[in-house]
């Protein structure tokens, strides 16, 4: 919204700064951080008062969680979303349809997650919204978003870019309306599965957001896109501002979510943030790179798939407990060890993902 101030730069030179994505991204990050950090304590107090016993802890999970995490309020994603939306609407150029599409998916997934958290808190059970119905609702939201992308995008909006191969693009045609929603829904739920330890999910989310934001900036810039041999998507560069807002809000949330956590992100936050990242990757045509950058989330989701499939087919478990971060807890790793090591893995994967920009 503030980008319009650049039109008055002839009256006051410094207003020209609002024309630059880098300046507005820094502004969005700072605003997101301020909103969460300033209003966080009152939001936590309000959620603790309304939720009473807080988020119910799985009885079949690690026994230590019943002692250390019991009574902690959930739905902390509302804090992140507040900072994200305020700063995005303030600093992004709202003439870009991609901003509205990604915010649509974010608020839609947040609504689903909020309802799931609400059921868990009110019923005092870790079982919330019906899994199948939740997936159907997520897919519908993602399908609407992908259809909107094809309507506002330039030629090639239904294409799939393959990393490591310069200029190779596969046009998915109508199949894009199946593939795109799958990526968004799968990544949203992958982040959701990762959110199981204090601070575990939010830092990899911020790392992925920084990586995808940088790629969005390059993809949206005609010169850089041609130089690197990647798809150019006009107007998609504004997503770097949204990613900056997410990073700022995420840092503010981490202040309260660092162990021992004062609040949990909940499905409200994890589904929304995963959906945002998945949608961003689909928009910038880097879905395959997302699987590398977000490899930690993919690993968490695959561990659940493998565990369930193995138990149903053989009656045996591959891991001591799934998702895989619980497996390492059962092996004797402390929670801070798991969290810090997973952060390192996420950072390394992000560097590998960025390397694909030159390996073409």
Give 129's pLDDT tier (boundaries 50, 70, 90): confident
Report pLDDT for 248.
Answer: 97
Rounded Cα–Cα distance for residues 200 and 339 (Å): 5
Q: Which residues pair with 159 in a beta bridge?
A: 171
Residue pair 60/79 in contact (Cβ under 8 Å)? The answer is no
Q: Which two tokens stand for residue 22?
A: 């880098």
pLDDT (mean) for 117-133: 78
pLDDT at 341 > cutoff 50: yes
Give 9's pLDDT tier (boundaries 50, 70, 90): confident
SS3 of residue 170 by DSSP: strand
pLDDT at 241 > cutoff 90: yes
Residue pair 90/247 in contact (Cβ under 8 Å)? The answer is no
Give 47's pLDDT tier (boundaries 50, 70, 90): confident
Give 51's pLDDT tier (boundaries 50, 70, 90): confident
Q: Which residues fall within 8 angstroms of residue 221, CB to CB, at 6 or more apart?
A: 232, 237
The CA-atom distances, in angstroms, between 206 and each of 69, 202, 210 are 24, 6, 6
Give 287's pLDDT tier (boundaries 50, 70, 90): very high
Rounded Cα–Cα distance for residues 281 and 18 (Å): 25
Rounded (10°) CA dihedral 211, 259, 275, 37? -80
> What value does the mean pLDDT of the chain take?
88
pLDDT (mean) for 290-298: 96
pLDDT at 58 > cutoff 60: no
pLDDT at 128 > cutoff 70: no
Residue pair 54/72 in contact (Cβ under 8 Å)? The answer is yes
Q: Which two tokens stand for residue 202?
A: 């939010």
Give 65's pLDDT tier (boundaries 50, 70, 90): low
Report pLDDT for 166.
Answer: 65
pLDDT digits (tens, 9 = 90+) for 143-196: 999 999 998 876 567 888 887 766 667 788 889 999 999 999 999 999 999 998
- DSSP character for 14? G
Rounded Cα–Cα distance for residues 91 and 106 (Å): 17
Nearest residue to 188 (alpha-carbon basis) of 201, 176, 171: 201
The CA R_g of the chain, rounded to the nearest whole Å, is: 20
The CA-atom distances, in angstroms, between 122 and each of 71, 88, 173, 234 are 13, 32, 44, 46
Q: Which two tokens stand for residue 294?
A: 């977000």
Residue pair 98/236 in contact (Cβ under 8 Å)? The answer is yes
pLDDT digits (tens, 9 = 90+) for 68-115: 566 788 889 999 999 999 999 999 999 999 999 999 999 999 999 999
Rounded Cα–Cα distance for residues 128 and 115 (Å): 8
pLDDT at 133 > cutoff 60: yes
Give 66's pLDDT tier (boundaries 50, 70, 90): very low
Report pLDDT for 127.
Answer: 66
294-320 as b/e: b if 16+ CB within 10 A: bbbbbbbbbbbeebeeeeeeeeeeebe
Model-level pTM?
0.92
Rounded Cα–Cα distance for residues 322 and 183 (Å): 22
Tokens 């928009």 -> residue: 283
- Helix %, strand %, coil % of the chain (to 5): 70, 0, 25
Report pLDDT for 69.
Answer: 61
Task: Locate the domains of the chain by residue range.
Answer: 26-158+166-291
């Amino acid at each position: 919204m503030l980008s319009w101030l650049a039109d008055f730069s002839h009256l006051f030179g410094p207003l020209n700064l609002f024309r630059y994505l880098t300046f507005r991204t820094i502004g969005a990050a700072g605003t997101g951080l301020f909103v969460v950090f300033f209003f966080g304590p009152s939001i936590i107090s309000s959620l603790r008062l309304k939720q009473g016993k807080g988020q119910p802890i799985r009885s079949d999970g690690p026994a230590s969680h019943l002692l250390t995490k019991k009574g902690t309020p959930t739905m902390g994603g509302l804090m992140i979303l507040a900072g994200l939306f305020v700063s995005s609407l303030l600093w992004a150029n709202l003439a870009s349809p991609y901003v509205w599409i990604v915010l649509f998916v974010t608020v839609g997934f947040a609504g689903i997650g909020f309802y799931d958290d609400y059921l868990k808190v009110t019923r005092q059970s870790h079982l919330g919204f019906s899994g199948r119905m939740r997936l159907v609702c997520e897919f519908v939201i993602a399908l609407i978003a992908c259809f909107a992308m094809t309507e506002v995008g330039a030629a090639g909006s239904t294409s799939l870019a393959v990393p490591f191969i310069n200029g190779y693009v596969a046009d998915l045609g109508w199949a894009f309306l199946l593939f795109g929603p799958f990526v968004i829904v799968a990544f949203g739920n992958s982040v959701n599965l990762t959110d199981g330890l204090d601070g575990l999910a939010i830092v990899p989310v911020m790392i992925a957001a920084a990586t995808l934001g940088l790629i969005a900036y390059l993809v949206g810039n005609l010169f850089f896109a041609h130089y690197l041999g990647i798809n150019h998507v006009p107007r998609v560069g504004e997503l770097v501002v949204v990613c900056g807002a997410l990073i700022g809000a995420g840092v503010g949330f981490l202040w309260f979510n660092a162990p021992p956590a004062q609040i949990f992100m909940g499905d409200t936050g994890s589904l929304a943030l995963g959906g945002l990242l998945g949608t961003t990757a689909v928009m910038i045509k880097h879905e395959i790179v997302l699987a590398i950058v977000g490899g930690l989330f993919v690993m968490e989701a695959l561990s659940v798939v493998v565990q369930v499939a193995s138990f149903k087919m053989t009656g045996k478990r591959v891991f001591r407990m799934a998702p895989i971060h619980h497996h390492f807890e059962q092996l004797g790793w402390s929670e801070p060890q798991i969290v810090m090591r997973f952060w390192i893995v996420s950072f390394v994967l992000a560097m590998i993902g960025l390397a694909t920009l030159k390996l073409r």
